């Protein structure tokens, strides 16, 4: 089936810059950024996808502006984000696709979804299925997060991965058929199982509602889990919470012809970091 989503137009950078700089001093700019594929490349070793010094200077400049509410909203575990981008003061972080949040200026993580409670037994079944299938695929591994389980297969044989994943999905469908509170999501070379209602869109909606008088809102991401953020921005636009001229959803890596519900796209990570640098007033090295 063809992807019904459009191919977004190329980002109008002068219009974005004007929208950013024309925000009244009494209004807030809400900036929500994915990490992998948006600020840093997808790599075989996830621990090596570190932010560059130039990127950190840009993020620090954005976070230092009191009119800005800068958030990193990622599927990564909190400890990784905390020791990379979390070293910047006044930056908000949401990890595990919204499973946990750390407010700007705080060191405390607040959880939204855990393995315990009435779903604990079902989580054990999910873990058993995923552990069974990961042993069948060389190069694949499981990431045990606090609010989800992730099956990663970037460095595995993609031909064999297609077979293993189809069979794993079938097993998961069987055990989750009557459990709508747990969902299976596809990412970039990952399959993630997490509680329903925990996604980047829910976090984006919370932030839009929290910050009063948002005069500029930007969300950027590169894959399926970021579409929830884009949809949340669109809903806020339709509901009149944000004006059309102040709403910016940006699909990174759109040069490859992938589809998205974002309102614009840039060609890759370096292009997007350049865009952020323009907004922050930070020049290249």
Q: Which residues are catalytic?
A: 34
- Token code pair at residue 113: 């979804």
CB atoms inside a 10 Å sphere around CB 137: 18
Q: How many CB atoms lie within 10 A of CB 2?
A: 5
Q: Calculate the alpha carbon distances from 140 to 86, 126, 162, 184, 244 in Å.
A: 28, 17, 12, 17, 43
Written as six digits, the tokens of 206 are 């919370």
Contacts of 201 (CB under 8 A, 6+ apart): 228, 229, 231, 232
DSSP class of residue 263 equals S
Read off the tokens for 139: 């190069």
Q: How far apart are the first and last CA of the chain?
A: 45
């Amino acid at each position: 089936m063809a992807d019904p989503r459009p191919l977004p137009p190329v980002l109008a950078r002068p219009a974005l810059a004007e929208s950013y700089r024309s925000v009244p001093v009494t209004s807030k700019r809400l900036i929500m950024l994915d990490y992998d594929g948006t600020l840093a490349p997808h790599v075989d070793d996830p621990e090596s996808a570190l932010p560059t010094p130039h990127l950190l200077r840009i993020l620090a400049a954005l976070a230092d502006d009191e009119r800005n509410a800068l958030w990193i909203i990622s599927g990564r575990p909190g400890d990784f984000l905390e020791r990379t981008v979390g070293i910047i003061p006044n930056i908000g972080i949401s990890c595990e696709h919204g499973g946990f949040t750390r407010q700007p200026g705080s060191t405390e993580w607040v959880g939204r979804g855990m393995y315990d409670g009435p779903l604990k037994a079902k989580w054990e079944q999910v873990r058993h299925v995923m552990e069974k299938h990961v042993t069948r695929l060389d190069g694949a591994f499981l990431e045990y997060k606090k609010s989800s389980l992730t099956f990663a297969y970037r460095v595995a044989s993609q031909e064999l991965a297609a077979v293993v994943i189809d069979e794993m999905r079938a097993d998961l469908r069987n055990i989750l058929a009557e459990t709508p509170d747990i969902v299976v999501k596809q990412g970039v070379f990952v399959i993630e199982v997490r509680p329903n209602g925990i996604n980047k869109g829910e976090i984006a909606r919370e932030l839009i509602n929290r910050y009063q008088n948002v005069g500029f809102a930007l969300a950027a991401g590169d894959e399926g889990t970021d579409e929830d953020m884009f949809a949340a921005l669109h809903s806020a636009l339709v509901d009149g919470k944000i004006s059309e001229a102040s709403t910016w959803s940006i699909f990174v890596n759109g040069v490859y012809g992938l589809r998205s519900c974002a309102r614009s796209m840039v060609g890759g990570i370096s292009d997007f970091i350049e865009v952020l640098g323009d907004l922050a007033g930070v020049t290249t090295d």
